Structure 1
């Protein structure tokens, strides 16, 4: 069962497909997100969000020694095609070949223009078949497509090759993300046999939500009692971060991959369910995102191409 890139996205809505990976030696991190109705796009917001397919992007974030790159160029529907197995935005594309997700990257970084070129292959080791509602009305939904995957990275610009463990999910919504949520903290960690995913935050009405799940090698999931809350230091932009960890343990931020005014993605050394693990963690503040100051900064990191 593939990612189904042909999902219908209505006015005000969004869809995204998210991949993260860490190299086997822990030195490199990669995140790729493909958007329809790009949720953080100032252009989509300014347009009135009537046509999600006119606001698409493939975001690439690579960090590591001598190999750091960021690209997120938005393009309109004339430069986008998608069907069940393929999603192309400008010169970059994702395609499901029946066993793996192959991502061909041909982007320009921002704000300083440099080529970002390469191919990434994501091969699931398990497939998740369940989607989860993040709000009672089901306006926001999360589907862990492959909680555990093998990822092979072959970049031409910057020149680096590596492989490691990864994760692949998708999110869908029928209203703007900031209408549904104020903030959230999310993390995933590969345990010896299972994958742990922790997801919690506040909805737009101020009510808390949380999920604590473990996925086995067959992709089957079950609820678990979440570990106790554990604090993390704020980011350089003073975004609050928090996670959960086994009692008596202290999570440590190994590396902050993305540090933005309203968002952070980090690698954590932590302990979950009796195992020492490296977790991928993100914190999102939609209260920060709504700020006019933050909105005015976004086009510098998220340009829109009109060709």
Structure 2
């Protein structure tokens, strides 16, 4: 992911382009064309990701008056094909997004999110600590046909802190142990992992994230961001 100026961004009804990379929706498949460089060695990263939703939902979840979570396709089939690095696989996936009118660190202290295959679809958990005290816990069950219902959230289950000492927790049945399985991304303020837990007696493995906005608001930590996220002075050219 690269930070780019507004001159590198183009948006249309069914497509979004940022520099040499783009996203496109044709009504059935969401296609992401990636042409980037991976930090810290600036190696090429080029390939295609195709997401085929089993259904597209119409639900929006207000996490805060300034922020909305939009789970477009909680259950989907994903195909990954990268030339650099050589990587090709397919499996179970999802597509969602967050939208907001203010900076995350202005309105939130901390949140955790998790999406786990469950039943004929997926269960999602969102636990938000807002700066104004309007904390929120969301527990939703999505069907493969796009239907959604509120579900009683199981108790919170602790996970080991990350190497950066970011705290983590998810949800799971009383007495059942949640477990970290694999690290996807780790930073002083953020963690994205593969986590297993138990929901209504069924063991499941899904994607989990933890975001510490207090950490992200720290100027010392922000100074480290260019080491993980390059910035470009133009649509393709590199600043550093």
Q: Is this a same-fold pair by TM over 0.5? A: yes
Deviation, 1:192, is 3.1
Runs of at least 5 residues in structure 2 that lack an aligned partner in the other structure: 235-240
- Mapped to 1, the partners of 2:173 and 2:229 lie a distance apart of 38
- Mapped to 2, the partners of 1:160 and 1:172 lie a distance apart of 30
Q: Does 2:169 align with 1:222?
A: no
- Mapped to 1, the partners of 2:7 and 2:90 lie a distance apart of 34
Number of aligned residues? 234
Which residue does 1:158 correspond to in 2?
85
Mapping of 1:121-200 within 5 angstroms? 121-135=50-64, 138-200=65-127
- Mapped to 2, the partners of 1:125 and 1:144 lie a distance apart of 13
- Mapped to 1, the partners of 2:66 and 2:178 lie a distance apart of 33
Which residue does 2:203 correspond to in 1?
276
- Mapped to 2, the partners of 1:170 and 1:260 lie a distance apart of 20
- Mapped to 2, the partners of 1:297 and 1:206 lie a distance apart of 29
- Mapped to 2, the partners of 1:190 and 1:293 lie a distance apart of 38
The answer (yes or no) to whether the contact 1:140–1:173 under 8 Å persists in 2 is yes
Deviation, 1:208, is 1.9
Instruction: Spell out structure 1 runs of 4+ moving beyond 2 A.
Output: none
- TM-score normalised by structure 1 residue count: 0.74
Deviation, 1:160, is 1.4
The answer (yes or no) to whether the contact 1:182–1:206 under 8 Å persists in 2 is no
Cα RMSD over matched residues? 1.0
Give the secondary-structure state (helix, strand or coil) at the position aligned to 2:106: helix
Higher strand proportion = 2
Give the secondary-structure state (helix, strand or coil) at the position aligned to 2:215: helix
Which residue does 1:13 correspond to in 2?
none
Runs of at least 5 residues in structure 1 that lack an aligned partner in the other structure: 1-71
Deviation, 1:175, is 1.1
